Chains A and B, each alone.
Chain A
Amino acid sequence: MSAAHQRPYLELAQPDGPAAHFVGRSVVEEDPETFFLTVRQPTSDAEGFFDGDVLAVSSQMDAEPGDLVVWWTGSPASQALARVNLELGVDPVGGFLAPAENAGAPAQIRGVIVGRLRKA
Chain B
Amino acid sequence: MAAQRSVLHVDLDAFFVSVERVLDPSLRARPVVVGGSPERRGVVAAASYEARAHGVRSAMPMARAMQICPDLVRVSGSHRVYRRASKAVSGILGEQVPVIEKVSVDEAYLDLTGTHMVLGKPVDTAEKIRREVRERLQLDLTVGVSRNRLVSKVASAFAKPQGLFEVHAGQEARFLAPLPVKLLPGVGPVTEKRLLEFNIARLGGLATTESWFLESVFGSHGPAMQQRARGEDDTPVCPPWEQPREKSMGHEETFAEDTGEHAFLRAKLQELLASAARRMRQKGM
Contact = CB atoms under 8 A, between A and B. Distances in A.
The answer on A and B forming one complex is yes
Contact of B205 (A17, A18, A28): A28
Contact of B163 (A17, A34, A60, A112): A17
B163 A117 contact: yes
B175 interface: yes
A68 B166 CA distance: 14
Contacts, number: 87
B168 A19 contact: no
B204 to A, nearest CB: 5
B171 A58 contact: yes
A4 B24 CA distance: 48
A17 B156 CA distance: 11
A1 interface: no
Contact of A56 (B127, B157, B175, B204): B175
Interface string A1-16: 0000000000000000
Interface string B154-173: 01011111111111101100
For the side of the interface on B, what is the size category?
20 to 34
A113 to B, nearest CB: 6
Interface residues of A, number: 28
Nearest to B159: A117
B177 interface: yes
Contacts of B158: 18-19, 22, 117
Given A22-B179, A27-B202, A17 B159 contact: yes
B160 A34 contact: no
B206 to A, nearest CB: 11
A31 B175 contact: no
B178 A22 contact: yes
Given A27-B202, A32-B204, A118-B163, A18 B157 contact: yes
A57 B171 CA distance: 10
B201 interface: yes
B161 to A, nearest CB: 6
A117 B167 CA distance: 9
A114 B165 contact: no
Contacts of B157: 18
B200 to A, nearest CB: 10
A60 B178 CA distance: 12
Given A26-B178, A58-B177, A115 B202 contact: no
Interface of B: 121, 123, 127, 130, 134, 140, 155, 157-168, 170-171, 174-175, 177-179, 201-202, 204-205
Given A17-B163, A58-B175, A115-B171, 14 more contacts: A28-B202, A31-B202, A32-B204, A56-B175, A67-B171, A112-B171, A113-B171, A117-B165, A118-B159, A118-B164, A118-B165, A119-B162, A119-B164, A120-B134
| Closest 5 A/B residue pairs (Cβ) | A120-B162, A114-B171, A114-B175, A58-B174, A115-B167
Interface of A: 17-19, 22, 26-28, 31-34, 48, 56, 58, 60, 64, 66-68, 112-120
